[in-house]
Chains A and B, each alone.
Chain A
Amino acid sequence: MTQLSLVGVSKIFGNTKVVNNVSVTVEPGKVHVLLGENGAGKSTVIKMMSGIYQPDEGHIEIDGKTVRILGVEDARKFGIAVIHQELNLVPQLSIMENLFLGMLPAQGGFVNYRAMEKKAKEALKLIGLNEDVHTPMGELGVARQQMVEIAKALMQNASILILDEPTAALTRKECNQLFAIMDELKAKGVGMVFISHHLDEISRVGDVVTVLRDGQYIDTVDASASEDELVKLMVGRDITNQFPHEHREPGEVLLDVKDLNREGELNNISLQVRAGEVIGLAGLVGAGRTEVIRAIFGADSYDSGTVTVCGKQLPKHAIGKSIEAGLGLVPEDRRTQGLVLDASVAENLGLATMIPTSKYGFADLHGQSKREIDTAKKLRIRMANVNQTAGSLSGGNQQKIVFGKWSMANVRVLLLDEPTRGVDVGARVEIYELINEITANGGAVLMASSDLPEVLGMSDKVLVMSEGRITGCLPANEATQESVMALAVSHMDDDNNAERN
């Protein structure tokens, strides 16, 4: 089995050393976790392992012999395969064809389907994936698509598997499936590199952890290290308070939702958020959190019920009216729903206020520009200047822009959907402080999140959803992960459980 070592490698782009003197050894049958904030150099290290970049200093060893990996093809020959965060699959083609993408078994230009089917079935069996090989890839969930990618890598005799944030898009259950497969691969002697932002996964699946910060090698520790210790290594300082929630005396009701219904998705949703309050919305993926948030904001319609903001009842499905009344939405996916990535930071900040501040159809370019610069400063968005494109900023700074957009609109009630997804530990605290700022100014926040510690740490009250209804309301200081989870699965009937097996 293969052992892969990076020995004191560095990578330089222009004047910046993005990776400096990093040494990592991936042992057969072990999971090596690469840990670090965005921009710490993890991706660059992976790219050197997989031949996309060549190290400018240091060298790579495979089984103790110095080698040069000159490209992805080369890496494959050495038995190194990468499972990228964005999967390289063709959703319209079958599982089988995806497995053999680029290397269809053929005779005289004709595809040998029989051989392909046989090998494909073997490959799926190898990872215990029970699917018809003729199923179109697009019909599988992300987790299963990932498994097919892993099967493909193993089919090509990979002995080192690099998994770049494989759990980012997976539900808890799917994560467990993935970890089970990883355990099996370990037993077979496959060495793995694992990247994840979820610290709790490290002790579950990892053996050793190498921490990077700003391109520097920091330390290699055992995967059983405590989360606090890992965070300290990552950010270089103690984060004394991961959740700096400030409790306030709740004021008048700012958001009042009554009996919201939509066939098959929302079931008698009623909730209130008062001035100064943060209400958390917890539940499993698919419980209807996003649907509730979007219906309140007017992004989607509903069949019956009312939404009242600051005493004014809103019409259904009318985003413009919602914003006028003082609502704002930080959507679950900032890249596709929150930002115009190719537009500047300034333009993105002004997106929600451009029309309300206009006169006679002309945008108030001068005033907006001033307010945009002020907001960028107030939110401490780290950028070269406001004309930089939003897409080039880190996840945390991008999220600050989305918050800033609503801060410019003087929002009274802010709806948050997964406010810190893909945001670094350090930047996360800054996002939480923005939440505090809203409540300090007499605003109200409704926050949906699948990150349970975040919901418990940042809310005053936690509403738990299951299958489109609210199944419970817990004061945050009494709620535990267990009590929330119990409510989150409380409406699941036996049929559903049977289906899951």
Chain B
Amino acid sequence: MTAQSVKLGYDTGETTVADRIKLFASRNGALIGLIILCIALSFVAPAFLSAPNLLNVGIQAATVAILAFGQTFVIVAAGIDLSVGATAAVSSMLVAYTGANMGLPAWLTIIVGLLAGAAFGACSGMMNAFLRLPSFIATLAMMSVARGLTLVISDGRPISTSGMVNFFGGTLAGIPVPIIMMVIMGIVASIILNFTTIGRSMYAVGGNMEASRLSGISVHKTQIMVFVLSGIFAAVAGLVIAGRLHSAQPQAADGYEMDAIASVVIGGASLSGGKGKISGTFIGAILLAVIRNGLNIMNVSSFWQKVVIGLVIAFAVSFDTLRRKVDTH
């Protein structure tokens, strides 16, 4: 029957403009949703469209987006990374600690932070690749280890950060640095996924691990690299969080892994691997931030916000699943 489904799928050969718009809409549900939401919000709460508020949305989205970019690597390679929030916390705490308590120069503390993120990622990756722990378990373990170490290092208290770190929470030529960092990290992630062998290997390994291995792609290397990258991205997110608060907080980014995963999934990635785009993840993160911001403007309590966010995730993903079903028939 395969040959026939091929015929069916491609019989429509000539596509009209209307068809293309329909196709675009069905493939970019999250983007369409975001646009509709923004238009609706601008009517309900005119303050939404003001420049300061939009920048605020951007800042709110930035940390989750950066974590989610890293998460995209992992999910494309058919894994999941629950440790990104805790990794952001432990690396920013190391940045603050090595600066305030050990007197390292600020630039060096930042490198320490990034290396720490990479190291935590490498641990998850090696557990996944060599010990064959499912990534869910490996990163669940690392989440606890990283959060615990954050508390051990800080003794449960915030540590203030250096001026160079605080720059990541400030503004540059009137533009908030978190937004700049989000854009830079988004571009870097996109380049890695689309143009490098390691990025292309993520899609292959996520799509079919055995076929990739038998084609000469190093599955272990790919598995470790996705978590290393995810760890580095988490460390960058940690810098932004610390910069905004002018300190490293022991409970920083608590629960952010869920928002990051939600962003990736809303962006159209498949948890079974092989699919996902940075642009989608970006839209997913912005969508979550806009919803939070809109609910804030409308004075909806943060308790109810959680309920709404949950429903949005369920709705967005089921829409996507339904679309795929329609696509394959």
Residues of A within 8 A of B (CB): 13-16, 18, 38-39, 41, 43-44, 215, 297, 299, 319-320, 322-323, 329, 331, 336-343, 347, 351-352, 354-356, 358, 361-363, 365, 383-384, 388, 392-395, 405
Please tell me if the beta carbons of B6 and A351 are within 8 angstroms of each other in the complex. no
Q: Tell me if B215 and A14 are in contact (CB < 8 A).
A: no
A358 touches B197 (CB 8 A): yes
Chain B 211-225 interface residues, beta-carbon cutoff 8 Å to A: 211-218
Q: List 15 A-B contacts (CB under 8 A).
A: A13-B8, A15-B11, A16-B4, A16-B7, A39-B2, A297-B214, A299-B214, A319-B216, A339-B211, A342-B275, A355-B197, A355-B201, A358-B196, A358-B197, A361-B198
Cross-chain contact of A363 among B196, B207, B214, B216 (Cβ < 8 A) = B196
> In this complex, what residue of B is CB-closest to A329?
B214
B2 touches A394 (CB 8 A): yes
Contact between A343 and B274, CB atoms less than 8 A apart: yes
B216 touches A18 (CB 8 A): no
Q: A38 — which chain B residues lie within 8 A by C-beta?
A: 1-3
Q: Does B163 interact with chain A (Cβ within 8 Å)?
A: no
B289: min CB distance to chain A, Å: 30
Q: A340-B208, A340-B211 are in contact. Are A351 and B7 (CB under 8 A)?
A: no
Q: How far is the CA of A393 from the CA of B5 in the complex (A)?
A: 9
Determine the chain B residues whose CB is within 8 A of the CB of A319 once the complex forms.
213-214, 216
User: Residue of B at shortest CB range from A46?
Assistant: B1
Tell yes or no: B195 within 8 A of A by CB: yes
Evaluate contact between B8 and A354: CB separation under 8 angstroms: no
* B211 and A336 within 8 A (CB): yes
Contact A337 B216 (CB under 8 A): no
Nearest 4 CB-CB pairs, A to B?
Answer: A39-B3, A340-B207, A384-B10, A351-B215
CB distance from A48 to the nearest CB of B (A): 13
Question: Do the beta carbons of A337 and B5 come within 8 Å of each other?
Answer: no
**Does B274 contact A340, Cβ atoms closer than 8 Å?**
yes
- Residues of A with C-beta under 8 A to B274: 340, 342-343
B244 interface residue, CB < 8 Å from A? no
A385 to chain B, nearest CB (A): 8
Chain B residues near A405 (CB-CB < 8 A): 215
Taken together as a complex, chains A and B put the C-alpha atoms of A183 and B8 apart, in Å, by: 39
Q: Which residues of A contact B7 (CB under 8 A)?
A: 16
Q: For residue B282, which residues in chain A have a CB less than 8 angstroms away from its CB?
A: none
A352/B216 in contact, CB under 8 A: yes
Set of chain A residues within 8 Å of B201, measured between Cβ atoms: 354-355
Please report the C-alpha to C-alpha distance between residue A297 and residue B214 in the assembled complex, in whole angstroms. Answer: 9
Tell which of B6, B199, B203 touches A394, judged by Cβ atoms closer than 8 Å. B6
Given contacts A363-B197, A384-B10, contact A43 B216 (CB under 8 A): no
**Contact: B200 with A342, CB < 8 Å?**
no
Q: Determine whether B254 belongs to the interface, using a CB cutoff of 8 Å to chain A.
A: no
A interface secondary structure, majority: loop
Q: How many residues of B contact A (CB 8 A)?
A: 34
> Nearest-CB distance from B27 to chain A (Å)?
14
CB within 8 A of B11: which of A14, A322, A347?
A: A14
B68 on interface, CB distance cutoff 8 Å = no
Indicate whether B210 reaches chain A with its CB closer than 8 angstroms. Answer: yes
- Among B5, B11, B13, B212, the most chain A Cβ lie within 10 Å of the Cβ of B5
On whether A384 and B1 interact (CB within 8 A), knowing A337-B210, A352-B215, the answer reads no
Q: Which residues of A contact B3 (CB under 8 A)?
A: 38-39, 393-394
Give every chain A residue within 8 A of B210 (Cβ-Cβ). Answer: 336-337
Residues of B within 8 A of A363 (CB): 195-197, 199-200
- The distance from the CB of B6 to the nearest CB of chain A, in whole angstroms, is 5
Q: Contacts A338-B214, A340-B212: A365 and B4 contacting too (C-beta < 8 A)?
A: no
CB-based nearest B residue for A405? B215
CA of A384 to CA of B6 in the docked complex: distance in angstroms?
8
Residue B9 interfacial (CB < 8 Å): yes
Q: State how many angstroms separate the Cβ of A333 from the closest Cβ of chain B.
A: 9
Complex Cα–Cα for A109 and B18 (A) = 55
Q: Mark B176-203, 1 if CB is under 8 A from A, else 0.
A: 0000000000000000000111111101
With A347-B203, A355-B216 already in contact, the answer to whether A388 and B211 are too (CB < 8 A) is no
* A39: contacting residue among B1, B200, B218, CB under 8 A: B1
Contact of B2 among A336, A338, A347, A395 (CB under 8 A): A395
Once bound together, how far apart are the Cα atoms of A356 and B216, in whole Å? 9
Given contacts A18-B1, A343-B207, 17 further A-B pairs with CB under 8 A are A43-B1, A44-B1, A44-B4, A319-B216, A336-B211, A340-B204, A347-B200, A351-B212, A352-B215, A354-B200, A358-B196, A361-B196, A361-B198, A363-B199, A388-B10, A394-B6, A395-B2
**In whole angstroms, what is the CA distance A57 to B8 when docked?**
19
**Residue with the highest number of chain B CB atoms closer than 10 Å, among A319, A351, A383:** A351
Are A342's CB and B207's CB within 8 A?
yes
Q: How far is the CB of A443 from chain B (nearest CB, A)?
A: 18
Chain A residues with CB under 8 Å of B217's CB are 351, 354-355
Interchain CA distance A90-B184 in the complex, whole Å: 49
B198 partner residues in chain A, CB cutoff 8 A: 361
Which residues of B have CB within 8 Å of A388? 6, 9-10
CB–CB B9/A392 < 8 A: yes
Query: Which chain B residues numbered 144 to 172 have a C-beta less than 8 Å away from chain A?
Result: none
Report the separation of the CA atoms of residues A39 and B4 in the bound assembly, to the nearest whole angstrom: 6
Q: A320 contacts B207, CB within 8 Å?
A: no
B216 touches A323 (CB 8 A): yes
Chain A residue with the shortest CB-CB distance to B10: A384
Is A337 touching B11 in the complex (CB atoms < 8 A)?
Answer: no
For residue A337, which residues in chain B have a CB less than 8 angstroms away from its CB? Answer: 208, 210-211, 214
Q: Could you tell me the distance between the alpha carbons of A16 and B9 in the complex, rounded to whole angstroms?
A: 11
Measured between beta carbons, the chain A residues less than 8 angstroms from B4 are 13, 16, 18, 39, 41, 44, 215
How long is the Cα–Cα vector from A215 to B4 in the complex, in angstroms? Answer: 10
Question: Nearest A residue to B273 by beta-carbon distance?
Answer: A342
* A351→B197 contact, CB < 8 A: no
Please state if A361 and B211 are interface contacts (CB–CB under 8 Å): no
Partner of A341, one of B197, B200, B208: B208
